[in-house]
Amino acid sequence: MTAAFFLSLSFVCLGIPLAAQQAKSSSVATESHLSIDKALTLARGGRCEEAIPTLKRAMSSQAQASTRKTAGIVGLHCALDLNDRDSALDFIRLLSGQFARDPEVLFILVHAYSDLSTAAAQELGRTAPQSIAAHKLNAEALEMQGNWDAAQLEYEGIIEKEPDTPGIHFLLGRLLLSRPDARDKSTERAKQEFQKELEIDPKNAGAVYVLGELARRDQDWDEAIARFSQAAKLDTTLAEAYLEWGSCLVTVKKYAEAIEPLRVAEKLTPGNPAVHFNLATALSRSGHQQEAEREFAIHRSLVATAPPAPTDEKPR
């Protein structure tokens, strides 16, 4: 027997005629739809404060998907216009949950997150313009724009005022290495900044990792292995640290020791061809030929299906 049969039976038992109940349900649905339509009209007419509560309810209702999507998009625009961050986040959560792969929704969410980020940055600038956080945010923005000198001055200004602020020496060191005009002096100073960062925060895995990378570039294998292994222990999700740790061990022909960190790197980033190649090499040189062949095969497959590398050549 169907659920509809039991539902109709329950109405009969309660003395409610089925036709009357269906008519009532239809009336409620129509009323709900009219309510949503009214809310959309209010929103589009600039009366967002009145519309938002109904649009939120519409997102959690049994309305058609197209109606819920429209309610969510219009509601999100309303919330952003009103600078109502709580409501904006509610609409973002509902849209993300119900339309996670909808291209139009994803496009709107990108702009919504950007607008919320901009609003928060502006509020920080208004309320605490001389704070460490404001200067740090400004430095990061300048760095993203490629305004290296101004960004460096911001980081140095923070250090001058608050030399023990966690994270700032790391950011300055990273900037010094990122500059397109970086020289040997910049690299040496960057090392000093990372070491200062570790004096303040010995658990900064990022600083330890970069020091390992710099040691690897200098072919200081013992230093590189020590740094990468330390970074991996500080942050067990840092796949790059495990990969470089294992790769350095392969370079110095410590193949058996390289297997364990490379296996961890494989679990963390199974789609990275470099991981499989290094693991295959370590396994092969350690006498695990069958496993090595399997890893070499995975490496070949990943390389064959990888998208072509970007090129700076212009079409002729």
Q: Long-range contacts: 48-55, Cβ < 8 Å, 24+?
A: 48/78, 48/79, 48/81, 48/82, 49/82, 51/75, 51/78, 52/78, 52/79, 52/82, 52/84, 52/87, 55/91
Q: What is the CATH number of the domain that holds 43?
A: 1.25.40
For the record, the structure tokens of 55 come out as 């649009």
The model's pTM is 0.72
* 47 within a domain of the structure (yes/no): yes
Per-residue pLDDT of the chain (316 residues; tens, 9 = 90+): 443 433 333 333 334 443 444 433 443 343 455 588 899 999 989 999 999 999 999 998 888 999 999 999 999 999 999 999 999 999 999 999 999 999 999 999 999 999 999 999 998 999 999 999 999 999 999 999 999 999 999 999 999 999 999 999 999 999 999 988 878 788 999 999 999 999 999 999 999 999 999 999 999 999 999 999 999 999 999 999 999 999 999 999 999 999 999 999 999 999 999 999 999 999 999 999 999 999 999 999 999 988 876 555 444 4
* 132 within a domain of the structure (yes/no): no
Q: At what angle do helices 48-59 and 65-81 cross, to 10 degrees?
A: 140
* 241 within a domain of the structure (yes/no): no
* 79 within a domain of the structure (yes/no): yes
* 274 within a domain of the structure (yes/no): no
* 67 within a domain of the structure (yes/no): yes
* 93 within a domain of the structure (yes/no): yes
Give DSSP secondary structure letters for 277-309: HHHHHHHHHTT-HHHHHHHHHHHHHHHHHSPPP
- Answer yes or no: are the C-beta atoms of 73 and 96 closer than 8 Å: no
> What pLDDT score does 288 carry?
96
**Count of domains in the chain?**
1
Residue listed under structure tokens 């949503």: 36
37: domain range? Answer: 30-125
* 4 within a domain of the structure (yes/no): no
DSSP helix/strand/coil, 101: coil
